Structure 1
């Protein structure tokens, strides 16, 4: 059996196992003869364009012939991935390395499903705390130990059609919007140019989209959302109502459609039927491929304080029943080498977490990526609690109470209160680990 045949058979086997588990799974290694060194198992959830870039980074590191070879296992995003990773960690049969969203660390580190990173060994390979934005590094800490090393920050941002902005005479105004009224004025002027909408924002069927925009504006008021198990949620209802009322005002079927989903929003923006788009940086490759004239920037500070929703892809060490020192050392080297090459990862829109890359001329020349490079300094992650984070039901709890507000038929105060009541019930439960 040839090397390619072995890889194909392994891919078939893993795909079948994933189907039984309710998720799809692919293997992302390039064909060709394997090196004779140690094979490291690396799990992640990067698909599409992200998956291609990640495969290229891994291939580049494998090409160093450093005594190891990383083999990628790619699982379906969301619950299938996190469930399988938790089961593998609980059984002590986890991969050498895995990707985990920073927002999920609070649900995994306390239960012993992850192992902390050795800071001295990281430093030996050129990875230190000083190489990361403080808020990004701190998000990986639990009980004083580092449980995740960030690859990136991927925030929610504002895209705008530069040709429409010129026609509407709002190019300078877009750069200086500092209040809800200023934003509404710009969006209204753009709507007159497009003849359809001033803003594209899709949320139907996507609770995460609803949460990202709300949490950005909520935090811009200076309000916090503190969730501590065993206690009531600490929230600022007035700030929440203010944020929800503003979102509701935008979704008036003139500035933005009241009933759009994510795909509709991106399509509308791509076809020039709006001038602004609220979306994640992960939309950037599609927008660039379209060749349309656009730019991107942080969501403007409309409520007084810089704030932006974001998450991070991070590297974690899933718990294993037995740890081989040589394999572990190679795993640290793999992470360090990927971080040092992460300017390629920036091509997918993400902001590299490793600051030597962000400060490099190669990254600073990337547009519009370098326009929003400052967001990690004031990034807002999901609250640190076991039931929050990417791929969890946390945002579904928000959507089931607040979607009618977005649709224009719900009361902001009542919707937010329903969400808080759901949070309080969860905070009364012990962490299920």
Structure 2
């Protein structure tokens, strides 16, 4: 499963789901799973493993854990699944009470905050023991994503970028080639114009985090901008590049390529129902769309609208929560589990993930996964949220700016300027709170 953990020929790991930003809980259900219980079998080491894989990917991780337990009679992994927000809230209490899990999964933007709060521990030695190195990975960004203040806290499991999902039937009806989705801004606008001529609003712009904010961030990077300055002292998403990105989205509504006031997930449902042609969404939709009867669809890399290739993405990474005491036997058992996950990386990719290890990405097994292979083409230019403690408190303000601009409550420039001013206050406060 995990593309990152390593060694051995299939070598190294992966991880994913999607990060619900503070207070912006969008529906990916999840609730508390059954509590882990220590094994009653003599001589068996029980590892507690916490994840937030509550969707369709949960069945894949569960199967890998079951196979590990069957293959290693002296080590038993007890997996507990929580909704992502619940996982982080419960982790703090578990660490304080001395009941923390042995292994957990987090998104890259959650690692800095939990590292700064000393809820997770540096794992540079574990990475070295597993033989992990940057050259093994498809993206420098995913390798760097596990670092905080020069120390490694996360071992990459996977990546989950945005992709262009398209309805082939709708494209065919509009006279467009269903096997050649647009790759450039000009091609994309030409396709939207042709769809509009056939009474179809081809790209519904969402005013919500899923997936309006991810679209804005993708476009911001494509136009050459960034979310924050390199030092993490101020927000920069209100730059000229940011205004260009937001204006592009708002213009889709103004020019009739998108309806106004799109409801949460309505853009994705419209793709399924043949009411639009394109939907910028995450890899998590791959297996869900396969279950929709009689739907002809495809997925491709996000078109290059701006001056450079870029796409929003995130990564699941393995972390080791802080323990009240160090047990060498348990540490060795944890390394064995992480290595096993690495060896089963291709099985995890079937849940809809994109591999982080070159050996997995280049393998015939992964090449046969048509949809995932399309999105893996974006690996070299995926962008992640910045590695700043408390960053989600600032990122949620981007969601607000997207909502204000897309719904026509403020101009792109005004919405971004107001949000950036508040986000700057947040990151400066966090620098004092967590240390610069």
The two structures share one fold, judged by TM-score above 0.5:
yes
For the residues of structure 1 that align with 2:55 and 2:333, how far apart are their CA atoms?
A: 27
Is the contact between residue 251 and residue 407 of structure 1 (CA under 8 Å) also seen in structure 2? no
Alpha carbons of 1:172 and 1:76: their partners in 2 closer, same or farther (altered >3 Å)? closer
Stretch of structure 1 that moved more, 253-262 or 360-369: 253-262
For the residues of structure 1 that align with 2:179 and 2:159, how far apart are their CA atoms?
A: 27
For the residues of structure 2 that align with 1:115 and 1:165, how far apart are their CA atoms?
A: 50
Among 128, 138, 146, the alignment partner of 2:152 is 146
Normalised by the length of structure 1, the TM-score is: 0.85
1:384 aligns with 2:390: no
For the residues of structure 2 that align with 1:288 and 1:34, how far apart are their CA atoms?
A: 41
CA deviation digits over 1:156-200, x for unaligned, max 9?
Answer: 111112233234343389545322x4322212323444x342124
SS of structure 2 residue aligned to 1:425? helix
Among 115, 119, 125, the alignment partner of 2:121 is 115
Residue 182 of structure 1 is matched in structure 2 by 187
- Structure 2 unaligned residues grouped into runs of 5+: 1-29
For the residues of structure 1 that align with 2:231 and 2:110, how far apart are their CA atoms?
A: 16
Among 30, 34, 41, the alignment partner of 1:27 is 34
Residue 12 of structure 1 is matched in structure 2 by none
For the residues of structure 2 that align with 1:33 and 1:430, how far apart are their CA atoms?
A: 44
Normalised by the length of structure 2, the TM-score is: 0.84
Shift of 1:136: 0.6
Residue 70 of structure 2 is matched in structure 1 by 63
Once the two structures are superposed, the pairs formed by residues 64-79 of structure 1 within 5 Å of their partners are 64-65=71-72, 67-78=74-85
CA deviation digits over 1:38-82, x for unaligned, max 9?
Answer: 11000111112111111111112112125211101111222x221
Residue 422 of structure 2 is matched in structure 1 by 422
Shift of 1:155: 0.9
Once the two structures are superposed, the pairs formed by residues 26-425 of structure 1 within 5 Å of their partners are 26-27=33-34, 37-65=44-72, 67-78=74-85, 80-119=86-125, 121-122=126-127, 124-125=129-130, 127-133=132-138, 134-171=140-177, 175-179=181-185, 181-193=186-198, 195-203=199-207, 206-227=208-229, 231-235=233-237, 237-252=239-254, 254-291=256-293, 292-388=295-391, 392-425=392-425
- Structure 1 unaligned residues grouped into runs of 5+: 1-22
CA deviation digits over 1:77-110, x for unaligned, max 9?
Answer: 22x2212223333554321000110111221223
SS of structure 2 residue aligned to 1:243? helix
CA deviation digits over 1:2-61, x for unaligned, max 9?
Answer: xxxxxxxxxxxxxxxxxxxxx8311399xx997952110001111121111111111121
Is the contact between residue 340 and residue 357 of structure 1 (CA under 8 Å) also seen in structure 2? no
The number of aligned residues is 401
Alpha carbons of 1:182 and 1:409: their partners in 2 closer, same or farther (altered >3 Å)? farther
Q: Whose relative contact order is higher, 1 or 2, with alpha carbons under 8 Å and at least 6 apart?
A: 2
Is the contact between residue 314 and residue 384 of structure 2 (CA under 8 Å) also seen in structure 1? yes
Is the contact between residue 225 and residue 235 of structure 1 (CA under 8 Å) also seen in structure 2? yes
For the residues of structure 2 that align with 1:289 and 1:28, how far apart are their CA atoms?
A: 31
For the residues of structure 2 that align with 1:249 and 1:34, how far apart are their CA atoms?
A: 63
For the residues of structure 1 that align with 2:175 and 2:200, how far apart are their CA atoms?
A: 17
Shift of 1:430: 3.9
